[in-house]
Amino acid sequence: MKTLLLGTAAGVLAATGAQAADLPVAPEPIDYVRVCDAFGAGFYYIPGTDTCLSVRGRVRAEYRYFDTDGSTLRAAGTNWRDFNSTAFRARGYIYMDSRTNTEFGLLRAYNEFWITYDAPGGSTGLTLWNSFIQFGGFTFGRTQSFYDFVVYPTWAFAFTPQVSDQRQNLAAYTFAFGNGFSASVALEAASERRIGIANYAPDYGGTKYPDLVANLRIDQGWGSAQLSGAVRQVWPGYNAAGMTPSSEVGWALNGGVKFNLPFGSGVTANLSGAYTKGAVAYASSNFNSWEDVGDASYNPVTGDLDLATAWSVSGGFGFSFTPTVGAAIQAGYLDYEDGVTSLNDFKNYDVQGNITWTPVSGLLMGVEVDYRYVDQDSASAYPDANLWAGAFRVQRTF
């Protein structure tokens, strides 16, 4: 009887174990990706967090033609036979935008970078165009300068309109007053705006202070407007011959306005102007490459730096003829004076125009022509120049 009972118990235990082994195991909970509509289309929650992320991209193909009167190239030391008149460009973009609402306000981290391949020319490598953190009113990292008011509707692929359009490493704070009014103050990397010191070796010295930038801005349904200013140190490097001049203070003022015109959907007008002294890159981000341009010039008579001046004005229109066909035109003027003599003085007259077609959402095709006339001072060693370029662009944004 004892043996029978033990055998029966063993059988029951074995059967119970087998049935337990056959039972299905509860699956791990799945954390599905959820759409985040708090910040617009394209955002989703990163699984397991309350952070919303958008990952987007762009592919651009461009076919370019450049022309010049030739005399400018010879003055710059490049023969016409060695000048590239045609060029092909392919560029890939990646945009990554993460946002989280916190008790202190919005926490945002944004990256934008691209890789370009030009033929001729080869790859330009990875370009970090934007990389910044916003927390409440603070901005840290690399982004558009808080001095700039960039609203021109053309591509400006060859000659940027005569405006300041510069990415900066910076730290800034923006005060939002409501109803579209704001004010910002920023410390921005001075090296990004250095043009040089003419007639002086070894040119600029080390960076001692960042540029101080401030603006007042309004954004409303009718458009936007901004007033901004910048102060910077013009710091010459040490001259071993004992002719090191003292540093000077450069400055810049800028104002701009953009209107959303009531004549139809997508019609805009813009106008901006700047005056600078000792900070000429704040007047324009696109000087002629062959000019002996500087923020200041060394005066051998006084042994001091004479600050250069530059002022600019730019304006244009954007049109939407139909939901898929648009056009834009922009014109600009720049006047530069070197501060010592008129040998390096010049004036730029720019105009750009394009026509675009968007057959489907996210796809753009179009052509643009850019033109610049360079009016050299009569005492300059360089001749006047006529420069123009054309491009056909195909661009897919997703």
Residue 319 has what pLDDT? Answer: 93
Kindly list the structural domains of the chain, giving each domain's residue range(s) and its CATH number in brackets, ordered by start. 66-76+122-397 (2.40.160)
Residue 26 has what pLDDT? Answer: 61
Residue 199 has what pLDDT? Answer: 87
Distances from the Cα of 292 to the Cαs of 245, 302, 308, in angstroms?
19, 21, 12
The SS3 call for residue 73 is helix
Contacts of 9 (CB under 8 A, 6+ apart): none
What is the side-by-side strand order in the sheet with 304-307?
Answer: 197-198, 296-299, 304-307
Mean pLDDT by 10 residues, the chain (398 residues): 51 50 60 86 93 97 89 67 90 98 94 95 90 97 97 92 94 97 98 91 94 98 97 94 92 97 84 97 86 88 93 96 95 92 87 97 97 87 86 98
Q: How far apart are CA 193 and CA 196, in angstroms?
A: 9
Q: What is the C-alpha R_g of the chain?
A: 30
Residue 5 has what pLDDT? Answer: 47
Residue 73 has what pLDDT? Answer: 65
What number of residues does the chain have?
Answer: 398
